Amino acid sequence: MTVFLSPANLARVAREVRRPNYDREAVCIGIVHFGPGAFHRAHQAWFVDKLLANDRRWGICGVSLHSPTVRDALAPQDCLYSLAVLDESTSYQVIGSVKRILVAPDDPDTVLEQLCAPQIRLVTVTVTEKGYCLGADGHLDMVHADVRRDLHAPHAPTTVIGYLVEALRRRRAAGIGPLTVVSCDNLVDNGARLARAVQQLAEAVDRNLAHWIRDNVAFPRTMVDSITPATTDALRERVTDALGVADRWPVQREAFVQWVIEDISSGDVPAWEGAGVIVTDDVPAYDRAKLRLLNGAHSSLAYLGLLAGHETVAEVMADGDLATFTVTMMQQDILPTIKAPRGLNLSEYVGAIVKRFRNTAIRYALAQIAADGSQKLPVRLLGTIHDNLVAGRPIDRLCVPIAAWFHFVRRAAAHGEQVVDPLAKRLFDIGRACENHASTDVPTFLALDWVFPAELTASKHFRSALARAYDGLAARG
């Protein structure tokens, strides 16, 4: 008979596995989290688990907006689960910060009651960009089917935006007080986006409520970072061997983990710094460093690595020439465009990124990183190229991964395949027309004005550097 992880079986967990170092029965729920998936449980819940050793007011109630899968897996374990940290050697830890999981469609009234409990002071969110129901202009999409349902029946919400508006309406009416609402989704300016969506729905429901939310509710911006591979049966087997008991839904992530939160709040919030969270007045600077150094290098590794026949990030970093190229680009071409925020040593940050890239315990597929290039490259690399052009610094290395993306599109089309991208059809047509020569191919890509801004395409220096890079890579097929 299989023995599963549970409070009653904690004593059976292997001695070398870390367990909650606090009385879990004494923990109160102070945080409601929308989207209790793998990233949340490997990231925010891990930080909160560290908090609970000194402050037991911040247990988590997870809320799933759609699927009961996480609840059904973890409820028999009293929401305990294990985290595997993948590094040179794998370490394991039992996380106890999640106290309850609700499924909104099954029990919406209980979700609202939990949100309105006086001890709840913090709501966190990981529902992906799709969950915000935003239009192309970044505003709440008022014709979105779920938003229309919330407008029609605001007291019986279905979206995270609807739940927040209704909970804040009830808290205001009862005199309970506001909340701090923390978006932890991987979106630039995530707090402002969430705030705008909540205020727009509130405005449509009750203008006075919208004004109260604007004046009383904080939506801090954040930056989150840690690679979190999906849970597999192989992981479940490793966890069972390591713990000595089975876990229905363990999670895994790399050793590197970062959470940056803007220093604004509506009343009481956890003492984040004690758990290793960075609290700052300059989240955009951290975002910029991550987008340009980590994500820009990731995209470079993806397109150049695929062109060279590699499949994972670690494989590319084992290719001496490509690894040297990427690290040199980070140090000499990207670093000069970044102003270090207080508390971040950029040289150490680059070193940490390179170490993450070399981590063979993480199988980070290049094909996954290569998806959606038309959306990613403008913020990951083109801004850096523009800044170097303005400053009179070299851009030749930075143009190589852009040219590699062109070849990635061209080669996919030559095999009759569309790349995964919002512009997939248009890119396929461009790729089919390519002749593997810069003179004919590069201008057709640069005509994508949604990707390439006019100030770049008008630069002869940029066009010529990109053409040289494209022809230089053409020999690779």
pLDDT tens sequence across 428-463: 999 999 999 999 999 999 999 999 999 999 999 999
User: What is the mean predicted confidence (pLDDT) over 156-183?
Assistant: 97
pLDDT for 1? 79
Third-level CATH fold of 284-474: N-(1-d-carboxylethyl)-l-norvaline Dehydrogenase; domain 2 (1.10.1040)
pLDDT for 476? 67
pLDDT in tens, 263-308: 999 889 999 999 999 999 999 999 999 999 999 999 999 999 999 9
Residue (of 92, 95, 103) closest to 78 by Cα position:
95
199 alpha-carbon distance from chain centroid:
23
Residue (of 14, 22, 9, 17) closest to 50 by Cα position:
22
pTM of the model: 0.92
Question: Does the structure show a pLDDT above 80 at 259?
Answer: yes
Q: 18 has which bridge partners?
A: 93
User: What is the mean predicted confidence (pLDDT) over 403-428?
Assistant: 97
pLDDT in tens, 97-115: 999 999 999 999 999 999 9
pLDDT for 477? 59
- Map the chain to HEC letters: CCCECCHHHHHHCCCCCECCCCCHHHCCEEEEEECCCHHHHHCHHHHHHHHCCCCCCCEEEEEECCCCHHHHHHHHHCCCEEEEEECCCCEEEEECCEEEEEECCCCHHHHHHHHCCCCCCEEEECCCHHHHCECCCCCECCCCHHHHHHHHCCCCCCCHHHHHHHHHHHHHHHCCCCCEEEECCCCCCHHHHHHHHHHHHHHHHCHHHHHHHHHHCECCCEEEECCCCCCCHHHHHHHHHHHCCECCCCEEEECCCEEEEECCCCCCCCCHHHHCCEEECCHHHHHHHHHHHHHHHHHHHHHHHHHCCCCEHHHHHCCHHHHHHHHHHHHHHHHHHCCCCCCCCHHHHHHHHHHHHCCCCCCCEHHHHHCCHHHHHHHHHHHHHHHHHHHCCCCHHHHHHHHHHHHHHHHHHHCCCCCCCCCHHHHHHHHHHCCCCHHHHHHHHHCCCCCCCHHHHCCHHHHHHHHHHHHHHHCCC
pLDDT in tens, 4-40: 999 999 999 999 999 999 999 999 999 999 999 999 9
Averaged pLDDT score across all residues of the chain:
96
The domain ranges of the chain are 7-281, 284-474
pLDDT in tens, 129-138: 999 999 989 9
pLDDT for 460? 97
pLDDT in tens, 311-347: 999 999 999 999 999 999 999 999 999 999 988 999 9
320 φ, ψ to 5°? -55, -45
Percent of the chain with pLDDT over 90: 96
Third-level CATH fold of 7-281: Rossmann fold (3.40.50)
pLDDT in tens, 188-238: 899 999 999 999 999 999 999 999 999 999 999 999 999 999 999 999 999
